[in-house]
Chain A
Amino acid sequence: MKAPVRIILGSAVIGTVIAAALLSLFWTPYDPTAMNIAERLQPPSSVHLFGSDPYGRDIFSMILAGARGALGVALAAALIGIGLGVPLGLWAAAGRSWVDEILMRACDVVFSFPAVVVAVLIAASFGPGARNAVIAIGIFNIPVFARLTRNAARGQWNRDYVWFARSAGRSALGISLTHILPNILGLLGTQATIQLSIAVLADAGLSYVGLGTQPPMPSWGRMLEESQTMIGFAPWLSLFPGLAVVLTVLGLSLLGDGLGALRRLHRSPGE
């Protein structure tokens, strides 16, 4: 698939998910938390578009509201990674070799822990909930961005224009902000979409084990968990939240992939 196709497809999918999340702020067909035992376990129909769950809650409404939680957690986690990782990476690239050494070895330490297990640990010891899920996922985004930024920035630091900027008396901080950062933004943007997709998946995973967004606020991961015993006679219960997770992750991956390919295509000869 060509880069523009991937980008368009990815943006369309992600646009839909974002629209769903925004829509759920003002309107959902039913209250996603309202139980209605009379209409429990309805298969998809014109009344309940995606069917209803054992408590009679409308699945479509829950999916819409769940999009808000999934995107919110992913976005906040990515922002933690960018907000701390990028400055650390720039510092590692610009600073003395021992700064670089310490920061990068610290990254190694974080990388050496299995991310999901530690996220479970954090969420379990500080209490389940969306905020702790954000922190748990966010911590693992920091070294990703720090290392990426550091390596990309290192490449820029060796370019002649940076040598010139130094001979023009610019400070390391000034060079990092005026030259280095703008030139690696594209790369960081691409990585951000990839990290978002990983975060969506991680959030679903945490919710699945009950450590993410707490009831009654609906979440895709918990919907999957709750539906698995009923998959034989009410497959719609797991089908739709599953599809929501898959499509969101796929959309973000396509977008990130496409942006990356496009960036490589349009690199100037000297880059």
Chain B
Amino acid sequence: MALLDVESLSLSIGRKPVLRSLSFSLETGRILGLAGMSGSGKSQTLLSIMRLVDGAARLSGSIRLDGVALEACSEAELCAIRGRDIGMVFQEPLTALDPIMTVGEQIIETVRLHTRLPRAQVREVALQALELVELPASYLSSKRYPHELSGGQRQRLAIAMAIALKPKLLIADEPTASLDAATQMAILALLRRLVRNEGMGLLLVSHDLTALASIADDMAILHDGEIIEQGETLSLLDHPRHPYAQSLVSAAALPPFHRKGEIDKAAPPILEAREIRCTYPKPRSAFWKKRQSRLAVDGVGLTLRSGEILGIVGESGSGKSTLVRRLLALVPPQGGEVLIGGEVFPSRDRAETRRLRGRIQVVFQDPYGSFDPRWRIEDVVSESLGLRGVPVSRAERRRLVEAALTAVGLDAAHADRLAHQFSGGQRQRIAIARALIVKPDVIALDEATSALDPSNKAQILALLTRLVRQGGTSLLFVSHDMAAVRSVADRVMVMKDGRVVETGATADVFDHPHHPYTTALLASSPPLERVLSARRAAVRQEETCP
């Protein structure tokens, strides 16, 4: 008998079917990866298993946890099961932790809530949990609060709380999506160890095929509320049969979108930055003390030629976004200079600065926060038209908006809609159209593909390279996503703690990194292919020496 047995699970909310007859099972000591893009029904599946779907939803099918049919349980029984037998880990640990409780209280409270153990034993259980997730035992009595921990430590704490009571089933919903690459690897390895050593089953939900490939024993691919393919991880990813599964796997592998040998190295750079410095004021440590400041960008220089794509990589906090804001003159200059086509930007002359702004545009990461929620797409896309200095008639404006939308593969009629009517991928196209409309020489993309799922990401990357190929624009592609950078950039610049540690042609940097940081960065985000071959090797080894 399997630990978790789900049979023909269906869910509809209102008249809309959300899940269609899902069946899968999970054994103790194994990891089942549930893969799917946003909106495919992953989260609803988890909520259905915990029977936490809201009252208006209709749920059918059977869910057996260790032989107990959850659909037959009363709400009181379910509460006991959720606390004791199922542990849950969420994407953003900060929202799962109580901000006003210290780290120790946090975990002790969880244990006390579900057991009737005496104080000393509660501490004992909490200590064991901390040890399992490799957090120091001193955390139990320290005065630290969740916001003082790093993202990885927070997620470890959240996992400790989830496993403290030794649940049979651990459910993790995108547990690594908000972490940087190196931390992701560590958390995944931790989850794998816990499942192997502590006798749990893990249902791991993610849109990141590479993450799933690295630890899941079995996988199920969810699309539109249906499992279109499931099986053992290696065989599924090596030979996906369903066309959608095939497209997912190929998108995760990210083919090079790259074109070579068209950059005129003799031409003057279109964008140049020298010795850029940016600082942020730190909060005062005491009222009478002088304000300290933190150096976010420290002496960075770069050049970008016409038709070139320069990738800037680094972990979060390395100063990438601050650098972008400085290049766009969104923060006041504090040192160094930026030249656009040889002219200093921002200029002392306001009109001149406005004109230069039209030559460099930007696309941000968040496809939701990028647009004024009240504006029609036509107004959104045409916002920077004023930079051209000549007034634009209504008909002309409409024509330009429609042309920009068509250029990014959207329908001209979309101009009349509101932003919330579009999917994440479409919104990112709109953001690109908005940047394109003034025909800039440079578009800076600040993590522009990081919030997208693999198929959308691949499409946006293809669109970007096509725009560059068609001429007229250069890209500054800023991302922590090594695979994406590798597939589009001509040259790469690696940033760490506000400094450039390595720069060079993409192939050189990726294949022969010089700086140890670059090596570590590459090792922490291996391409899908390498993850799969590592697993194959491990399987072979197990077979030869059991």
* A interface residue numbers (CB < 8 A to B): 97, 159-161, 163-170, 179, 182-183, 268-271
Contacts and interface: CB of A to CB of B under 8 A. Distances in A.
Contact of A183 (B281, B370, B372, B386): B372
Contact of B368 (A182, A183, A269): A269
B361 interface: yes
Interface of B: 281, 325, 328-330, 353-354, 357-358, 360-362, 364-366, 368-374, 380, 383-384, 386-387, 420, 434
A168 B368 contact: no
9 contacts: A163-B325, A164-B383, A167-B328, A167-B360, A169-B384, A183-B372, A268-B373, A270-B368, A271-B373
A165 B383 contact: yes
A219 B366 CA distance: 54
A160 B370 contact: yes
A167 B354 CA distance: 9
Nearest to B365: A160
A182 B369 contact: no
A270 B371 CA distance: 9
A42 B364 CA distance: 73
A203 to B, nearest CB: 35
Given A167-B361, A169-B384, A169-B387, A161 B330 contact: no
Contacts of A161: 369-372, 380
Contacts of A168: 357, 383-384, 386-387
List the 8 shortest-distance A-B pairs measured between CB atoms, nearest first: A270-B368, A168-B384, A160-B364, A160-B370, A160-B369, A169-B354, A159-B369, A168-B383
A161 B435 CA distance: 12
Given A164-B434, A169-B357, 12 more contacts: A160-B364, A160-B366, A160-B370, A161-B370, A163-B362, A164-B362, A164-B364, A167-B330, A167-B362, A168-B386, A169-B358, A271-B373
A179 B380 CA distance: 11
B384 A167 contact: yes
Nearest to B427: A270
A97 B366 CA distance: 26
B369 A270 contact: yes
B384 A166 contact: no
A163 B330 contact: yes
In the complex, which of the residues B325, B372, B386 has the most CB atoms of chain A within 10 Å of its own CB atom?
A: B372
Contacts of A163: 325, 330, 362, 364
A58 to B, nearest CB: 50
A13 to B, nearest CB: 30
A168 B328 CA distance: 10
A15 to B, nearest CB: 28
B404 to A, nearest CB: 14
Contacts of B365: 160
A264 to B, nearest CB: 15
